[in-house]
Amino acid sequence: MLIGNAIVGQSGGPTAAINATLAGVIRGAVESRAVNRIFGSFNGIEGILNRRFIELTHLSEEELKLLENTPAAALGSCRMKLPRPDDQSRADVYEKLLDFFRSNDIRYFFYIGGNDSMDTVAKLAAWLSDKDYEMRVIGVPKTIDNDVVGTDHTPGYGSAAKFIATSMQEILRDTAVYTIRAVTIVEIMGRDSGWLTAAAALPKKVCGVAPDLIYLPERPFEMERFLTDLEKAFAVHPNVVVAVSEGLRSADGTYIGEGAHSGRVDVFGHKYLAGTGRTLEMAVQSMYGCKVRSVELNLLQRCASHIASATDLREAVSVGKAAVEAAVSGETAKMMCFRRAPGRDYSVSIFPEDISRIANLIRSVPDEFITPDGTNVTDECIDYLLPLIQGEPDIVFENGLPKHLSLRK
Amino acid sequence: MLIGNAIVGQSGGPTAAINATLAGVIRGAVESRAVNRIFGSFNGIEGILNRRFIELTHLSEEELKLLENTPAAALGSCRMKLPRPDDQSRADVYEKLLDFFRSNDIRYFFYIGGNDSMDTVAKLAAWLSDKDYEMRVIGVPKTIDNDVVGTDHTPGYGSAAKFIATSMQEILRDTAVYTIRAVTIVEIMGRDSGWLTAAAALPKKVCGVAPDLIYLPERPFEMERFLTDLEKAFAVHPNVVVAVSEGLRSADGTYIGEGAHSGRVDVFGHKYLAGTGRTLEMAVQSMYGCKVRSVELNLLQRCASHIASATDLREAVSVGKAAVEAAVSGETAKMMCFRRAPGRDYSVSIFPEDISRIANLIRSVPDEFITPDGTNVTDECIDYLLPLIQGEPDIVFENGLPKHLSLRK
């Protein structure tokens, strides 16, 4: 058994469950005989490079519980991309990391993040593989986008989906109160995949109301057809609600919302989007002249822990603990994944998968989850999604607001 | 005692508590010996004119409970403005209303709404006053805006404030995860008053974090000073969060967000706004070149019943019941108001106030609630707000989503 200390970091965009996974890693480390002390690196891999970290071994049960219900990365995040492991001119970055690991007897490194963070796990594990220092590197997925390959779903998605479905149900009530013709366009996150937008359909199964039209980025978006789809929806009732992904693209690949922020990219080369709903709002306005409103669910999709899914948080803790167990049992260069058991009753098991088969890939919403006309999701999709939003966590309220845990002063 | 039937309508924008007030009116009517049957008019006063209504006398306790936790007007709403009572050329509208009241033995009319709805109550009561038909007309306030004169606060505000404070706390967690300089501008509803925006300060008292800057429409907004305020905020930490009211105006009275939708007005002559946050986002972007994001809390502010204030819902029920009691005891042309008892412990009493002293007036955030430099609210303001967001309602979840009641098939 490899005995030593462990360090955990968080990376990528916040979710409502990323701290539940952190709590799971801490719980797993504290319970394991192989791990002496567990540290947290502030701002992901940057904290190790800058020597900014905190010991987490002695958090109380009350603190761990609060941490599980605290949104956004309690250790902070980063968007830093490691250089290629074979780029000798940048080896100093890796040397600095190894120096920290050696001098603190760190034998286990856990990185909680999305697609881009798995890239960091893959590179670090690859670089360490031929070094004279035994160490285990494990990725633990989190992303509201649910677009990580190899796993049935990702921690964080269920809570985001529950917020989206709950908000959509409330917006459907809100928009139904007037009798005049009106279109409400709800823009939902998801640059490359439509998993989050698909969650807008969930109220249908639960209370019989749903958006009239749902457009995912998996299908090319045609403005003309959209306006025709709207015409059909008006024939049913005057208040039309449309759910759209921020990542909608035309057949030629240009983003529908590109006008507003064209040219801006983040460090991973992703285009910065903000205008899909607004673009459609203007198109509907000029075509129909009716009341149109676009609503961006925006940041709350990834941080609304007050309406988190208890299933999601429970699984997020489990996958953190499982990461420690897998590492202690000898796994490295792996990401922890969920496998859903077949059959009607929902249950998942957790297993490690080769990180090289996961990093930098995108898992899209499959064809059978989208209706043939591309304006909604199928019942099969809803059956997949529904178990992920079940249950409400016990949230501690103090003075009327949810209580959170701060790891930084 | 005036014995007969009652009818209730809802008007104006949705809130999370307007159906709790409806449930209160129904409860009060069912309990009163003076009221035989209670009806609900669909889409406010329009339902009476169009003869679209539903009997509510026999709702079960379970249905009433669900109704209390269902957002947005279950009876639908309208924005219809009654003609002036002394305009003889439009007397047909009033005659049509009276005809309905007479033929259905309606002796009590309750109208749940905001400022504009109290205008309807005032006009109808005035027109009826010299007619040969005894009837009582009572307004019950609701508005997330909290800007109704005569009452300590309005039902609906506490729940909206709780959603805003909770969301703000989560957004503060979310935006704190990165170390690069970034500005997040959260645009909050409130065309004429800053009550809703003030609620963004509540996390400060509860968990020590708060927006760095809060701008209410009660103070003229100066772009130059805003950019200087930001500079000071950057000196404290890189992630600056700003809460702004949609209704911010320059000293000359023009709305900051007017560019986007200038010229569009609703039937009451209110200007349609949508661009305050976006306008500031562009200004910050061009001045500082840093990451800037504007977030509109949008519709969820008025319909997020899943995070409603239990205090607000309880008071909303009470004020509905009290309206029936007041009407039965002889009151008419009144609006029900809250009076807060002096002293440390929060308690309110309910009383009827002359509608003529209320309709078409605006209650602004008072000077002592705003810091002298106009960039925040005072502790006195927070002390006023905090009791209104206390408590969490028992929400029935079904299949992972809050269960609502539909009054229409």
Quote the pLDDT of residue B136: 98
Q: Count of alpha carbons within 13 Å of B47, Cβ hemisphere only? A: 25
Q: Which helix (H) or strand (E) holds B136?
A: strand B136-141
| Residue of B86, B99, B132, B145 with catalytic role | B145
Any chain B CB within 8 A of the CB of A393?
no
Q: Report residue B44 as tokens.
A: 């406010």
Quote the pLDDT of residue B409: 47
The structure tokens 């190899």 sit at A150
B1: closest CA of chain A, how far (Å): 35
Separation between Cα atoms, residue B362 and residue A186, nearest integer Å? 31
Higher pLDDT, B267 or B10: B10
Separation between Cα atoms, residue B187 and residue B214, nearest integer Å? 10
Q: Report residue B286 as tokens.
A: 């061009």
Give per-residue pLDDT as tens, A50-59. 999 999 999 9
Q: A391 contacts in B (CB within 8 Å)?
A: 400
Q: Quick check: A407 pLDDT over 80?
A: yes
Q: Which helix (H) or strand (E) holds A109?
A: strand A106-113
Q: A79 contacts in B (CB within 8 Å)?
A: 178
Any chain A CB within 8 A of the CB of B71?
yes
Please identify among residues 367-386 of chain B the ones whose CB lies closer than 8 Å to any CB of chain A.
386
Q: How confident is the model at residue A259 (pLDDT cuts 50, 70, 90)?
A: low
Give per-residue pLDDT as tens, A341-391. 998 899 999 999 999 888 778 999 999 999 999 999 999 999 999 999 999
Any chain B CB within 8 A of the CB of A398?
yes
Mean pLDDT of chain A, nearest integer: 93
Using DSSP, state whether A24 is helix, strand or coil: helix
Separation between Cα atoms, residue B48 and residue B90, nearest integer Å? 16
Any idea of the CA torsion for B177, B181, B185, B186, to the nearest 10 degrees?
Answer: 10
Lowest average pLDDT, out of A188-197, B13-22, B254-263, goes to B254-263
* Span B25-33, average pLDDT: 98
CB contact under 8 A, A299 and B171: yes
B54: closest CA of chain A, how far (Å): 15
Q: Residue A80 to residues A119, A165, B381: CA-CA distances in angstroms?
A: 11, 32, 42
Q: Quick check: A102 pLDDT over 90?
A: yes
Please identify among residues 340-359 of chain A the ones whose CB lies closer than 8 Å to any CB of chain B.
none
Show contacts of B233-237: CB within 8 Å, 24+ apart.
B234/B181, B236/B212
The structure tokens 């006009």 sit at B123
Lowest average pLDDT, out of A6-15, A113-122, B89-98, goes to A113-122
CB contact under 8 A, A76 and B179: yes
CB contact under 8 A, A207 and B298: no
- Domains of chain A, start order: 4-155+305-360+391-402 (3.40.50.450), 158-301 (3.40.50.460)
Q: At what angle do helices B157-175 and B310-328 cross, to 10 degrees?
A: 170
CB contact under 8 A, B207 and A404: yes
Q: A173 contacts in B (CB within 8 Å)?
A: 14, 70-72, 303, 404
Closest listed residue to residue B144, CA positions, set B201, B80, B193, B204: B193
Separation between Cα atoms, residue A202 and residue A208, nearest integer Å? 9
Residue B126, phi then psi, degrees to nearest 5:
-65, -45
